[in-house]
Amino acid sequence: MLRIAVLGVGRIGRMHAENIAAHPRATLAGVFDVHTPAAVEISEKLGVPRFESAEAVFASPDVDAVLIATSTATHADLIEAGVAAGKPILCEKPIDLSLARVNACATKIAGATVPIMLGFVRRFDTGHAAVRQAIEEGQIGELHQVIVTSRDPGMASVAYVEVSGGIFRDMTIHDFDMARFILGEEVTEVTATGSRLVDPALMERCNDYDTVTVVLKTASGKQAIINNSRRAAYGYDQRVEAFGSGGMAISENRTLNQLRLYTADFTGQATPLLNFFIERYQDAFAAEIGAFVDAIEQGIAPPVDFEDGRQALILAEAALLSVTEGRTVKISEIG
């Protein structure tokens, strides 16, 4: 049984802790949170030790691996600490809001052999993964276009938005990784368009956008289109479409069940989209833990790693530059 500790037990960390506890080949080695009451509560609820500090977690001989779900600003430090302690890491995205900090971290951990996995959970969604698999199996021929539709069910709090680093680094980052996952080759050009339509005043104040379209292009000419909105009235919209020379594969939205209601007023699906990411990607979060355990147990590379996190951030930087300058940005200009 692999003993995994969790740093940070906010909403996401808590869910990870429960998934670790439920995994057949892993146990929850304990938790730490700078907000002690949160750590006490989860420690008591799940009957696991509470650590006094992140350092104590990394120093503990009873901890085999560490999941980092703390605030973004601490990720890079904790990754470095994990590498120093020789403990495998599963870190929530993004690595950092600053590409310079991420690059510095990359330099520092260069050559490390301890597995570092990034929490791009959507790769583990069975529907999105099936799109990738359909491509690999040749079911849609040579890939030409990818469309990633990703819309949140509601604007996050003002406080959150203000420190989020902007939509590209905070929200689109998931879609940059999804596009890279589906494209299967590196992006060379980025063109972004941003609008302020959901909450223009807030966006104006934060110099941010709530409605964006990003077009990615690879060296071979493959295109990926990402469209984002901070607020979809009908729920959490998560779709991935891959179009190729031989056909098309779409991972459509999921609902809790397949209830269809037919009345004089409408004909259709009665159950709303799964809301929010913890429900929508519930299976994917569990599969992510499984992939982390597999990588450590089998000594294989994790399926999504530090460099994937860095590349996604590079695309975010390129998108920001593109929208600012109103032009296509080459990836070679970034970093």
- Contacts of a second copy in 36-95 (CB under 8 A): none
Size of the site for a second copy (CB under 8 A): 72
Which of 100, 157, 264, 299 touches a second copy (CB under 8 A)?
264
Taking CB under 8 A as the criterion, which residues in 272-301 touch a second copy?
A: 272-273
Q: Which of residues 63 and 134 has its CB atom nearest to a second copy in the complex?
A: 134
Q: Which stretch binds a second copy (CB under 8 A): 61-69, 78-86, 108-116, 241-249?
A: 241-249
Which of 127, 166, 303, 309 touches a second copy (CB under 8 A)?
127
Report how far residue 319's alpha carbon sits from residue 316's, in angstroms, rounded to the nearest whole number. Answer: 5
Cβ 202 to a second copy shortest distance, Å: 14
Kindly state whether residue 104 participates in binding a second copy, applying the rule CB under 8 A.
no
Which of 63, 140, 148, 287 touches a second copy (CB under 8 A)?
140
Residue 122: CB partners within 8 Å, gap ≥ 6? 128, 174, 177, 178, 238, 281, 284
Q: Which of residues 213 and 311 has its CB atom nearest to a second copy in the complex?
A: 213
Give the pair of three-digit tokens for residue 89. Answer: 């890491």
Q: Which stretch binds a second copy (CB under 8 A): 83-91, 100-108, 119-127, 297-305?
A: 119-127
Report how far residue 277's alpha carbon sits from residue 284's, in angstroms, rounded to the nearest whole number. Answer: 10
Q: Which of residues 103 and 282 has its CB atom nearest to a second copy in the complex?
A: 282
Q: Which stretch binds a second copy (CB under 8 A): 3-11, 271-279, 297-305, 312-320?
A: 271-279
Q: Which stretch binds a second copy (CB under 8 A): 2-10, 86-94, 239-247, 303-311?
A: 239-247
Q: Which stretch binds a second copy (CB under 8 A): 50-58, 114-122, 253-261, 290-298?
A: 253-261
Kindly state whether residue 225 participates in binding a second copy, applying the rule CB under 8 A.
yes
Residue with tokens 């999804």: 178
Provide the terminal-to-terminal Cα distance of the chain, rounded to the nearest Å.
40
Kindly state whether residue 234 participates in binding a second copy, applying the rule CB under 8 A.
yes
Q: Which stretch binds a second copy (CB under 8 A): 53-61, 88-96, 101-109, 254-262?
A: 254-262
Cβ 87 to a second copy shortest distance, Å: 26
Cβ 39 to a second copy shortest distance, Å: 19
Report how far residue 172's alpha carbon sits from residue 150's, in angstroms, rounded to the nearest whole number. Answer: 8
Residue 35, SS3 per DSSP = coil
**Region of 65 on the Ramachandran plot (φ > 0 left; ψ -120 to 50 alpha; else beta):** beta
Q: Which of residues 148 and 316 has its CB atom nearest to a second copy in the complex?
A: 148
**Chain length of the chain:** 335
Element (H, E) at 287: helix 282-298
From 152, 231, 164, select the one nearest 199 (Cα to Cα).
231
Cβ 106 to a second copy shortest distance, Å: 29
Report how far residue 17's alpha carbon sits from residue 10's, in angstroms, rounded to the nearest whole number. Answer: 10
Report how far residue 88's alpha carbon sits from residue 26's, in angstroms, rounded to the nearest whole number. Answer: 14
Taking CB under 8 A as the criterion, which residues in 185-224 touch a second copy?
A: 189, 191, 193, 195-198, 211, 213, 215, 217, 221-223
Neighbours of 299 (CB within 10 A): 8
Report how far residue 136's alpha carbon sits from residue 131's, in angstroms, rounded to the nearest whole number. Answer: 9
Element (H, E) at 160: helix 158-163
Report how far residue 322's alpha carbon sits from residue 192's, in angstroms, rounded to the nearest whole number. Answer: 6
